[in-house]
Amino acid sequence: MKKLLALLVAFFTLAGYASATNIADDFRAHYYSASSDLSAYNKDINAMIGVADFHTGKGTTFPGFDIGATLSAVKPSDKNNITTDDYLYAGFITAETKIPVLDLGVVVRGTDMNGFQSLGGGLKYHYNLFDTIHLSLTGFYDRGKTDWYTTDHYSASAVASMNVLFFTPYVGVGYDYGELKTKNLGAERSTKDGAVRYTAGVNVKPFPFVYMFGAYTYTADNHALQGGIGLNF
């Protein structure tokens, strides 16, 4: 446990230096009211949160738990004329357990990184097929904010994974929808946007109870990379 916590601290310490520019500062410096494409920016922020929805089709069992760290890196769309960095970065701490009465997993997650804060949670239903194929459905809500805007993010995802030795490749499809509202910038602007995302990745267990994963996500407007490490009992 101590070694895992040390890895998580190192993970986020490195992640903190991954982005050259603070998300909030970058938004404030390049947001010019009506000339800024707030819709494109909102879709990129939605994707940054939504790619953290899953890293496997497996679910937890009561009284087991899963706790891990995820780093999302989203390549902004060409229409996003607010973000100047090559990628938008956010790291999430995620914890999951199961509610046996409802046969549902419950997940909480949050971030406070690069000027962006978010706290959210969701439910997860999973089904095992032949003990090797794992199918899951998830739904999430997240409330995010910076000094210059707030965002309400909703997502739904379906994911399938398969055990192959100590590898677990997975594929998933999800939909992100979010409402972003500016603040402290004069006249308030808001936008509501949604997009489908497609993900492929692999989860690896190098040691008992410890996993690592990496994934690539594609949407019509952007693409993203995701990686993480965690502990599962």
The string of DSSP codes covering 14-56 is HHHTT-SS-HHHHHHHH--GGGS-HHHHHHHHHHHHHTTS-S-
Spans of all domains in the chain: 2-232
Residues 206-228 have a mean pLDDT of 92
**CA neighbor of 126 nearest in space, from 104, 96, 97, 109:** 104
Report pLDDT digits (tens) over 19-46: 456 999 999 999 987 688 999 999 999 9
Name residue, tokens 């398969």.
162
Report pLDDT digits (tens) over 34-89: 688 999 999 999 999 999 999 999 888 778 889 999 999 999 999 999 999 899 99
CA distance 62 to 175: 28
Distance of CA 220 to the CA centre of its chain: 17
Q: What is the predicted pLDDT for the residue at 14? A: 52
Residues 6+ apart with CB under 8 A from 195: 43, 46, 47, 175, 176, 219, 220, 221
The CATH class for the domain spanning 2-232 reads mainly beta
Q: What is the rounded average pLDDT for all residues in the chain?
A: 89
Q: What is the predicted pLDDT for the residue at 4? A: 47
- Greater model confidence, 180 or 166: 180
